[in-house]
């Protein structure tokens, strides 16, 4: 009976360890274009003659990592065709069990806007920002582990 209990505890511990540690070894790569720079294939002839305005690309902010979560790359705001995006370029970070991208008023994510789950841990990635967000109130882009309430990396947007 004691051996069965020990085996069950070991299986439980192994499952918890796998759940917590396995994301660290799974990198997701994505290479999205800058919004508004790619012509859509399904445009009709009349729309091809109208010029598309160039996207407004704000200066890049360096990504700052945290001691336990190395990261590099840049983040910037891109405005294209009336839609605002947070764009990560040359992003490289480690994965985690429950990572989200936030716009935040501070580095503690006390007041933030979630842009959704992280799409990739490497590459160039765009996140659409809701139109009602005042970017001057949310100067930080964060990669945040929601499950553990931990900051993975940040960038102070310009």
Do the beta carbons of residue 83 and residue 127 sit within 8 Å? no
Distance CA 132, CA 7 (A): 54
Distances in Å between the Cα of 154 and the Cα atoms of 6, 10, 88 are 42, 37, 11
Task: Count CB atoms within 10 A of the CB of residue 142.
Answer: 23
Is the pTM higher than 0.85? The answer reads no
In tens, the pLDDT along 7-18 reads: 888 888 777 766
Structural element, H or E, at residue 88 = strand 83-93
- Dist CA 73 CA 71 (whole Å): 7
Q: What ranges do the domains of the chain cover?
A: 27-33+52-156
* Cβ neighbours for 116, distance < 8 A, ≥ 6 positions apart: 100, 101, 127
Q: Strands 71-80 and 83-93: what pairing?
A: antiparallel
Q: Which pLDDT tens digits describe the chain residue by residue (158 residues)?
A: 788 888 888 888 777 766 665 555 567 889 999 998 865 444 444 455 556 689 999 999 999 999 999 999 999 999 999 999 999 999 999 998 899 999 999 999 999 999 999 999 999 999 999 999 999 999 999 999 999 999 999 999 98
Nearest to 147, CA basis, from 121, 118, 119: 118
DSSP SS3 for 116: strand
In angstroms, the CA 49 to CA 52 distance is 9
Residue 97 has what pLDDT?
84
157 in Cβ contact with 139 (< 8 Å):
yes
């Amino acid at each position: 009976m004691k051996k069965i209990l020990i085996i069950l505890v070991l299986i439980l511990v192994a499952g918890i360890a796998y759940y917590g540690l396995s994301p660290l070894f799974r990198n997701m790569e994505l290479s999205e274009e800058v919004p508004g720079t790619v012509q859509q294939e399904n445009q009709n002839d009349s729309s091809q003659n109208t010029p598309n305005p160039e996207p407004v690309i704000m200066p890049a902010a360096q990504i700052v990592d945290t001691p336990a979560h190395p990261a590099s790359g840049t983040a910037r705001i891109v405005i294209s065709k009336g839609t605002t995006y947070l764009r990560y370029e040359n992003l490289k970070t480690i994965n985690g069990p429950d990572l989200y991208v936030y716009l935040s008023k501070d580095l503690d994510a006390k007041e933030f806007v979630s842009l959704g789950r992280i799409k990739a841990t490497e590459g160039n990635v765009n996140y659409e920002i809701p139109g009602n967000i005042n970017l001057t109130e949310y100067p930080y882009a964060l990669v945040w582990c929601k499950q553990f309430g931990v900051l993975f990396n940040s960038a102070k947007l310009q």
